[in-house]
Amino acid sequence: MPKQLLKKIRTIPDFPKPGILFYDVTTLFQDGEGLKRAVDQLTERCDRYQPDTIVAIDARGFLLGSAIAYQLDIGVVLARKKGKLPYKTISTEYALEYGTAEIEMHTDAFAETKRAVVVDDLLATGGTATAAIDLVERAGGHVAACAFVIEIAGLGGRGKLGDVPVETLLDVSEG
């Protein structure tokens, strides 16, 4: 099954800068069967952790996280790029393979819920996921696990997430 999903994901060399091999999951999202398989498999893995919310990371994580939350009948908390949320926020800066970025979350995102699974399309160096975990904890929540379609294991991102369990559908082992 994983190889079938991988065939549906376009790879783009030297994007967004030379030396980076970009895994473009939009081609997976365009394929109804592939998207359904990925969402169903991620939902099954997320459900093991009994979350009461999904934290979806901007932007491809929004698509996956929303579909997973819908299937689990729970809500979604958005971890967005800086400046995109309208209410009071907390933010954190993090390193990417190719620079830095900043994400934020509403301060009241965990007023009603506590147990979350963080969802995104790809785990590479772990910067974005680590930032999301930090925001959840600062907002009063607990990250039960993280879930991704793809992991580039050779870049060591999993190791940066501490003791948070990691679920992935594909390991492309570059680095």
Q: How far is CA 104 from the centre of its chain?
A: 14
- Residue 120 scores a pLDDT above 70: yes
**Contact 27/9 with Cβ under 8 angstroms?**
yes
CA angle 168, 174, 175 (to 5 degrees): 120
CA angle 79, 143, 77 (to 5 degrees): 30
**Which structure tokens are listed for 47?**
């459900």
Burial of residue 99, with CB atoms counted within 10 A of its CB: 0-12 exposed, 13-18 middle, 19 or more buried: exposed
Q: What is the mean pLDDT of residues 33-40?
A: 97
- Domain CATH code at residue 162: 3.40.50.2020
Q: What is the mean pLDDT of residues 66-93?
A: 97
- 97 belongs to the catalytic site: yes
- Residue 173 scores a pLDDT above 80: no
Q: Which pLDDT value is given to residue 97?
A: 67
Q: Which pLDDT value is given to residue 19?
A: 86
- pTM: predicted TM-score of the whole model, two decimal places: 0.95
- Residue 8 scores a pLDDT above 70: yes
Q: Which of 37-41, 58-62, 64-68, 152-156 is the least confident region?
A: 152-156
Q: Which residue range(s) make up the domain with 20?
A: 2-171
- Residue 1 scores a pLDDT above 60: no
> Backbone phi, then psi, for 140, in 5-degree steps?
100, 10
Q: What is the mean pLDDT of residues 80-108?
A: 92
Q: What is the mean pLDDT of the chain?
A: 94
Place of tokens 């009603």: 112
**Contact 88/107 with Cβ under 8 angstroms?**
yes
Q: Please tell me the distance from the alpha carbon of residue 18 to that of residue 148, in angstroms, as a whole number.
A: 24
- Residue 95 scores a pLDDT above 50: yes
Q: What is the mean pLDDT of residues 134-150?
A: 97
pLDDT band per the 50, 70, 90 thresholds, residue 175: very low
Domain count, the chain: 1
- 60 belongs to the catalytic site: yes
Task: Spot the catalytic one: 37, 60, 80, 158.
Answer: 60
Q: How far is CA 92 from the centre of its chain?
A: 16
> Backbone phi, then psi, for 145, in 5-degree steps?
-170, 170
pLDDT band per the 50, 70, 90 thresholds, residue 27: very high
| Number of helices followed by number of strands (H, E) in the chain | 5, 9
- Residue 101 scores a pLDDT above 70: yes
